[in-house]
């Protein structure tokens, strides 16, 4: 998945002649705190709500000093690059440009959430296990071997870590609803199971929370 596949075309970028008040109105309509400024097709920068509030909102945004001049991704950048830049600059939207710095569109937080919710590993039925372990003990190959030994398969996995800790949380989703024998096998191999979820029991509640979030983000 690359940036060009996630573009949202609902937003019309700001022109340098648009006022701060215009920008605040668009931000309020779409529940975002950032908007790109484009001159013809050239990406000039990204304006934040704070940039506007620190200036005269009746003035054109082209006269504002911008705190975010180059937070964007290229159309061929991978989804992981999109997430990295979005996190690094704490953005609500991220502009996408082509090889000639022409503005192509943008990606919103809602676009990313919707993408992750719709990919196969989220929509396919299964169960979730969360392990706690030291970084040096982590081996996805070994975890996969144990799961496959119970005639199941891992659909997805990810790691949550902290820079100031040697511990990590490893979350896996497997294609089985029944977990007892798999959990017992992991315990036999001395894995620390932090949590487990049979998806059929909590999926409806998770979907309700996701729908509420999407409604809040207006996507």
Q: What is the pLDDT along the chain (219 residues), one digit of tens a residue?
A: 788 888 887 888 999 999 999 999 999 998 999 999 998 888 888 999 999 999 999 999 999 988 776 789 999 999 888 988 988 889 999 999 998 889 999 999 888 887 777 665 666 778 899 999 999 999 999 999 999 999 999 988 889 887 778 899 999 999 988 899 999 999 999 999 999 987 655 555 555 666 666 665 555
Domain ranges in the chain? 3-115, 119-213
DSSP the chain: -BGGGG-B-SPPPBPTTSBHHHHHHHHHHHT-SEEEEEETTEEEEEEEHHHHHTS-TTSBGGGSPPSBSS--EETT-BHHHHHHHHHHTT-SEEEEE-TT-BEEEEEEHHHHHHHHHHSHHHHS--EEEEEEEEGGG--HHHHHHHHHHTT--EEEEEEEE-TT-SEEEEEEEES-S--HHHHHHHHHTT-EEEEEEEHHHHHHHHHHHHHHHHHHHT-
CATH topology agreement for domains 3-115 and 119-213 = no
Task: Tell me, yes or no, if the pTM score tops 0.75.
Answer: no
Topology at the third CATH level for domain 3-115: CBS-domain (3.10.580)
Please identify, in words, the CATH class of the domain defined by 119-213: alpha beta
């Amino acid at each position: 998945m690359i940036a060009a596949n996630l573009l949202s075309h609902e937003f019309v970028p700001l022109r340098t002649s648009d006022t701060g008040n215009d920008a605040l109105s668009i931000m309020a309509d779409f529940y975002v705190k950032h908007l790109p400024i484009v001159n013809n097709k050239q990406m000039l920068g990204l304006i934040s709500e704070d940039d506007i509030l620190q200036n005269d909102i009746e003035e054109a945004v082209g006269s504002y000093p911008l705190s975010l001049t180059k937070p964007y991704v290229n159309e061929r950048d991978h989804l992981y690059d999109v997430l990295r830049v979005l996190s690094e600059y704490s953005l609500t939207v991220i502009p996408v440009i082509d090889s000639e710095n022409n503005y192509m569109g943008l990606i919103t937080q809602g676009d990313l959430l919707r993408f992750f919710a719709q990919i196969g590993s989220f929509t396919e039925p299964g169960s979730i296990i969360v392990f706690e372990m030291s970084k040096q003990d982590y081996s996805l190959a070994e975890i996969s071997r144990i799961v496959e030994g119970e005639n199941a398969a891992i659909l997805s996995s990810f790691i949550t870590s902290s820079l100031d800790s040697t511990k990590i949380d490893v979350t896996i989703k497997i294609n089985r609803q029944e977990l007892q024998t798999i959990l017992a096998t992991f315990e036999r191999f001395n894995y620390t199971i932090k949590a487990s979820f049979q998806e059929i029991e909590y999926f409806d509640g998770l979907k309700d929370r996701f729908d509420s979030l999407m409604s809040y983000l207006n996507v």
